[in-house]
Structure 1
Amino acid sequence: MMTRPTVRRRLLSIALAAALAGPAYAQNYEPFEVADIRVEGLQRISAGTVFTYLPVERGDTLDRGRSGDAIRALFRTGFFSDVSLERQGDILVVVVTERPAINSITLSGNKDIKTDDLMAGLRSIGLAEGETYNPLNLDRITQELIRQYNNRGKYNVSILPSVSNLDRNRVDITIVVEEGKAARIRDINIVGNETYLEEDLRQSWESDTSNWLSWYRRDDQYSREKLSGDLEKLSNYYLDRGYVDFNVESTQVAISPDKRDIFVTANIAEGEVYTIGDVKVSGDTILPVEEMEKLLFVAEGATFSRARVELSTDAMIAVLGNIGYAFAQVNPVPDIDRENRVVGLNFFVEPGPRVQVRRIVFKGNTGTADEVLRREMRQFEGAWFSQAAVDRSKVRLQRLGFFEEIDIETPEVAGTPDMVDVVVNVKERNSGQFTFGLGYQQTYGLITSLQLVQNNFLGTGNRVAIAVQNNSFSKQYSLGYTDPYFTDSGVSLGYNLSYSDYSYSRQDANLAQYNNAVASAEALVGLPLTETDSIQFSVGIDRNAITTQDGFTPEPLIQYLVSTLGDRQRFPQFHIDDDQDPETPADNDDDDPSTTDPLQSGGSRKWNVNAWRLQTGWVRDSRNDFLLPTRGSYHRISAEFVLPGSDLEYYKLGYNFEHYMPLTNWLVMKFGAEIGFGDSYGDTSKALCQSFDTEGDIITTTTNCGLPFFRNYYAGGPNSIRGFEVNTVGPTYQFTSDGFRQPIGGSFKTAGTIEFYFPTLFDSRGTRLSTFIDYGNVYNGFDDWEAKTLRISTGVALQWESPMGPIQISYALPIQRERSDQIERLQFTFGGSF
């Protein structure tokens, strides 16, 4: 009697034999010589593809063994769900059933990981549009996506793939992702640290338990890659302090049953502190050994530090790379004496071949001419390769402002180990901008302005700017053109033409009330001195037609013109009825041109001020980026002189400063300062002007006339001291009639800012949030400056390089102000790009 397991085994054997006998029977024909091969069942795949993989050709003898090999070979391609061989006479018929093609892959519900990143993971396992669909890949899809989300600390993720059959043997794949919430790090524990506190060891870690900044830094979200990097930092911390035998013995990561909390424990062994023994440089050093030894950051007797060893290695590689040895290697070979806890170091130099640059290739510059990029390159074709020149070239390209991304590769020329190509990959940005201003005031109605700037005109790198502003109280028109490479040596040449007409009004952009029609023209020349330094010169002519109105224009402004240029006749002139008799006939009144009544002058006066202007300036710019710098400095010293023989003689001096310094990988600090001073000279300075106090009253003493009021400095607004209305910070004049206080500017300006940028808050490179402190004021001269009079504000700002153009929004709170100051907490500027 057979037992139940025996019966089960017999049945299994019979079933397996039957399964194997089927295909064997189907191919159970006598061996024959193949005269021809025909393929049936193909829809998308060509017969040539089948013949490529089929291990049988015409003239071959096909037997049972070769039939099995042929079927297995075609199955291995993954193109077919079924394969069989049939014989028709001496013709071999290959009958196949194709697997469907993937028509589309749709992802939904993924927020934490971009669709492009997920698609890249699917492509890595052979799942992409146009590829052959294999049902077995559905499970691989699920596992791959779960793996990507688990690496980001999301353990509650749900992946639901589905397949829809289409005509022509195609399928659509839909993948629905339910990400869930990321597991939070509840506790991190380092065991075995005897020398250093845990808070010191974890100071630079990206992983942390929940804290008040976690909403921004996301440091409490567990990630396997992030933890691996933190453990590497832990190892570096000890190795930089001489603990050569330091080791992370084990790491335990525990997850709570609800998959919401993570507990991390790292067990470490510190070991002992090692010092540095004998240090030498060997190998083919190219340069004298003494020069290479000067690049070492380690010395005998000092505590061992891997960071200093790496700095020494990098310094020697950099020096060799700058003289053409692009593939130089420096290998520090340690000699560890564990008994005496001493590490000897031998820096072995392998320079490799000296490399020349064969060709410089630009890719991605569809709208910018190669010449515009090539003239910024400091690495040249046919010259020895220099890493410093390549790095400098990248910085210069970034500072053009034409590109969002710049990546430089140096691939080796195939078959020529001593030559490389320099491949510059760029992603162009919209180099044209329009700035559009729109506002409304109850008194003056709609205010509009438009500025068009093309920094890369027709791809030539030349700059063209057109500005138009038109509203009820002002008109401005300007045209500018600059060729930054007028000569091959980098001399720039530019021209500017402008006309503006400001009508006097009580609130004319918070500027003093007078009408000023200005026409000007100038020519500019720039000369490069070094990679970061240049000087600029310009010569121009201005004509100011200034019209004042008694009772509306602040009296100090009128008195300045009278004192320096002399008085002007008032206009308009009109007749008056001076007999004071209301019975006077109508034919003898003000409107009768034949009247003999005397003339009465109006309250307007007009002065024409002509000036020949010479400007010069020195600029040092070491910032690493045109749009959003993160390191480097900007200095500008400028001087403007109105030449002798002009109607008014004066000068202005200025200094602007910016410095960017990265504090961490997610925080950048900026210091900014601006100082400006102006005064008159020559005959203008000899004239005596009346002094007025801030209430509008005349001070009995007179002073030498200084800087013309129409060239005064102003402060306040989005580009100066945020939180205060535009141009309202500084000297004012109060009208006695109604107490209205009008800003009139001053001859001395001090302003500055301290700003902290958070550039990694958003994924977009052109977006960053900042917090700032602005300060400054405008004075009538040096003697009026007092620290307690500085206006100070603090707030937050958002800078966004949107698809439509740059947008800046700030919200500021004044923390040092006067009661009479005009406050505007929310301010913004908007521009568009094309």
Structure 2
Amino acid sequence: TVRNITLKGNTFTKDYVIRRELTFKENEILTPEMLNESVTRLQSLGFFNRVQIRTLEEGTNLADRTVEVEVTEADPGLFTIGAGVNNERDLTFRGYLGLAYRNLGGTGRGIVFRVDPKYSTDPNIAYLENRITLSYIEPFIFNNRNVGRINLIRDQSYFGIEKDTSRTIMLETNSIGFILEKEVLKNLKVTYTAYNFANQREFYRDNKDARKTLNIAKTGPLFEFDNRNDVFFPSKGAYSFLNLEYSDPLLGSSANNNITIQFAKANAGYTWYQKLSKNSDWVWASSVRGGYLKNLSRKDNSGVPGQEDFFLGGRTTIRGFDASEQERIPNNYDLNVSS
């Protein structure tokens, strides 16, 4: 039985931040599983370089125990920078710059700022694409382990070539999203996009004249089940997800003479990992993905924005389509979608 809980080493982080991650409380039965799970939770916060939980009565037969939680705090500030080049679209130069503060005032709150520029030498593009992200993280919504996020994103990227004029079309997106996350079970996480609003503007690269402007407002949950033995380098286990989204003019999507946006979208995937042999360093990964997209409006000017289409392959899959190929599912002629 837990008689008392003492904290050690947290000179900056508030006591309640640590206590909320513990799976045990005073006057409760203590098990080794509870200790291990509490260590995992505290380490996953990213606030500590070292976490140790032990009882001061180790090696005795005493039933009532004092549990000591000792941590070594990490620097809450984080700076990242990087650059690279690949042969996508002739040559593509990429970079990123990130600033993060993960433990504001020792409360567990965080803020992240990131810039991702990209430039391709492909003459059809030849534009400095960029993505700017600002995020705020609230780790204890409703006074428990619900995580809240607010994301502000500005993105300018290549969209395609207009068939009639052969002019390059760029896409600018400004969005805000309000997100809730909950670890329902040890391996089950639910992320609910309470509201996401995006204003999208297609424009011509040569003079930035607007070609089309859309508002897309969405809501919906994401379910993730993950029992992999390692998130970054898995050798066994599986990861699966189901993402559901709904967009409607009642939420703020476009509904005018140009276009009406009302759609439902589902996307699911399953990936399984297994070593080729017991002592092998080679891992076999099998993956299957699928989705469903439907235009729910019966108006003549309705359709699903091209940005919501499904894409086949890409450089990260075995199919390996070039990123500039328009392998969209559905395309303009399938299911009456617009691009």
TM-score (norm 2): 0.70
| Maintained 8 Å contact 1:494/1:524 | yes
| Maintained 8 Å contact 2:20/2:144 | no
> What residue number does 2:6 align with?
361
SS at the partner of 1:397?
helix
CA distance in 2, matches of 1:486, 1:362: 23
Change (3 A) 1:458 1:394: same
| Maintained 8 Å contact 1:678/1:747 | no
CA distance in 2, matches of 1:382, 1:671: 45
> What residue number does 1:412 align with?
57
Match of 1:651 among 264, 268, 276: 264
SS at the partner of 2:16?
helix
Is 1:610 the equivalent of 2:215?
yes
> What residue number does 1:436 align with?
81
CA distance in 2, matches of 1:431, 1:665: 39
CA distance in 2, matches of 1:419, 1:658: 45
> What residue number does 1:393 align with?
38
CA distance in 2, matches of 1:375, 1:629: 29
For residues 646-667 of structure 1, the C-alpha deviation after alignment (integer angstroms, 9 at most, x for no partner) is: 3322333222445566875885
Match of 2:190 among 535, 540, 557: 535
Match of 2:97 among 450, 457, 478: 450
SS at the partner of 1:373?
helix
SS at the partner of 1:496?
strand
Match of 1:709 among 302, 306, 311: 306
5+ unaligned residues in a row in structure 1: which ranges? 1-355, 507-511, 553-570, 573-603, 689-704, 730-741, 749-777, 783-834
> What residue number does 1:814 align with?
none
CA distance in 2, matches of 1:527, 1:470: 32
CA drift of 1:608 comes to 0.8
Change (3 A) 1:665 1:361: farther
| Maintained 8 Å contact 2:114/2:132 | yes
| Maintained 8 Å contact 2:263/2:297 | no
Is 1:520 the equivalent of 2:175?
yes
Q: Which of the two has higher C-alpha Rg? A: 1
SS at the partner of 2:140?
coil
> What residue number does 1:474 align with?
129
For residues 476-529 of structure 1, the C-alpha deviation after alignment (integer angstroms, 9 at most, x for no partner) is: 2221112121222322222111112236688xxxxx952111111121123453
Is 1:679 the equivalent of 2:270?
no
CA distance in 1, matches of 2:322, 2:72: 42
| Maintained 8 Å contact 1:399/1:624 | no
Match of 2:322 among 728, 733, 748: 728
Superposition pairs of residues 173-252 of structure 1, within 5 angstroms: none
CA distance in 2, matches of 1:534, 1:675: 19
For residues 111-167 of structure 1, the C-alpha deviation after alignment (integer angstroms, 9 at most, x for no partner) is: xxxxxxxxxxxxxxxxxxxxxxxxxxxxxxxxxxxxxxxxxxxxxxxxxxxxxxxxx
Match of 1:545 among 201, 213, 218: 201
More strand by share: 2
CA drift of 1:542 comes to 1.2
Superposition pairs of residues 531-610 of structure 1, within 5 angstroms: 531-538=186-193, 539-548=195-204, 606-610=211-215
CA drift of 1:543 comes to 0.9
For residues 10-65 of structure 1, the C-alpha deviation after alignment (integer angstroms, 9 at most, x for no partner) is: xxxxxxxxxxxxxxxxxxxxxxxxxxxxxxxxxxxxxxxxxxxxxxxxxxxxxxxx
CA drift of 1:683 comes to 3.2
Superposition pairs of residues 44-193 of structure 1, within 5 angstroms: none
For residue 374 of structure 1, what is the amino acid of its counterpart? R
CA distance in 2, matches of 1:446, 1:401: 31
CA distance in 2, matches of 1:680, 1:619: 23
CA drift of 1:436 comes to 3.1
| Maintained 8 Å contact 1:413/1:419 | no
SS at the partner of 1:424?
strand
Match of 1:491 among 137, 146, 160: 146
For residue 712 of structure 1, what is the amino acid of its counterpart? D
CA distance in 1, matches of 2:99, 2:144: 29
CA distance in 2, matches of 1:407, 1:664: 31
SS at the partner of 2:314?
coil
CA distance in 2, matches of 1:674, 1:456: 38
CA distance in 1, matches of 2:106, 2:198: 32
For residue 651 of structure 1, what is the amino acid of its counterpart? A
| Maintained 8 Å contact 2:268/2:291 | no
For residue 216 of structure 2, what is the amino acid of its counterpart? A
For residue 619 of structure 1, what is the amino acid of its counterpart? E
Change (3 A) 1:460 1:413: same
CA distance in 2, matches of 1:445, 1:628: 27
Change (3 A) 1:668 1:447: closer
SS at the partner of 1:683?
coil
For residue 675 of structure 1, what is the amino acid of its counterpart? R
> What residue number does 1:501 align with?
156
Change (3 A) 1:712 1:432: farther
For residue 325 of structure 2, what is the amino acid of its counterpart? P
SS at the partner of 2:36?
helix
| Maintained 8 Å contact 2:264/2:296 | no
For residues 325-344 of structure 1, the C-alpha deviation after alignment (integer angstroms, 9 at most, x for no partner) is: xxxxxxxxxxxxxxxxxxxx
Is 1:642 the equivalent of 2:247?
yes
CA drift of 1:383 comes to 1.6
SS at the partner of 2:328?
coil
> What residue number does 2:121 align with?
none
CA distance in 1, matches of 2:144, 2:263: 34
CA distance in 2, matches of 1:664, 1:405: 31
For residue 747 of structure 1, what is the amino acid of its counterpart? I
5+ unaligned residues in a row in structure 2: which ranges? 119-126, 162-166, 255-260
Change (3 A) 1:432 1:636: farther
> What residue number does 2:325 align with?
743
CA distance in 2, matches of 1:629, 1:409: 29
For residues 323-362 of structure 1, the C-alpha deviation after alignment (integer angstroms, 9 at most, x for no partner) is: xxxxxxxxxxxxxxxxxxxxxxxxxxxxxxxxx2223334
Match of 1:373 among 12, 15, 18: 18
SS at the partner of 2:175?
strand
> What residue number does 1:807 align with?
none
For residue 716 of structure 1, what is the amino acid of its counterpart? G
| Maintained 8 Å contact 2:54/2:69 | yes
> What residue number does 1:11 align with?
none
CA drift of 1:634 comes to 3.9
Percent of matched pairs sharing the same residue: 21
SS at the partner of 2:64?
strand
Change (3 A) 1:418 1:456: same
SS at the partner of 1:393?
helix
Over aligned residues, Cα RMSD in angstroms? 4.3
Larger relative contact order, structure 1 or 2 (CA cutoff 8 Å, min sep 6):
2
| Maintained 8 Å contact 1:634/1:658 | yes
For residue 526 of structure 1, what is the amino acid of its counterpart? E
| Maintained 8 Å contact 1:660/1:670 | yes
